[in-house]
Amino acid sequence: MKQSEIKELSVAELQEKLGETKKSYSDLKLAHAISPLENPIQLRSVRRSVARIATELTKRELQ
């Protein structure tokens, strides 16, 4: 997810998206542990999406 897309979402939508993305990341990680993923770069992109969403939530809490 791009930063511009994240900025457009509300706090509730961000929290929901964060939960979905974290679950997706844990599923990918488990699948990769069992047998290597076809595209292991997916792990990096999903992990970075989690970080972007969490950062935006924190930023909004501080404002």
Question: Integer distance in angstroms from the first to the last C-alpha of the chain?
Answer: 23
Please check whether residue 43 is in contact with residue 29, taking contact to mean a CB–CB distance below 8 angstroms.
Answer: yes
What pLDDT, on the 0 to 100 scale, is given for residue 5? 93
pLDDT at 46 over 90: yes
pLDDT in tens, 2-38: 999 999 999 999 999 999 999 999 999 999 999 999 9
SS3 (DSSP) at 2: coil
What pLDDT, on the 0 to 100 scale, is given for residue 1? 82
DSSP string over 19-43: HHHHHHHHHHHHHHHHS--S-THHH
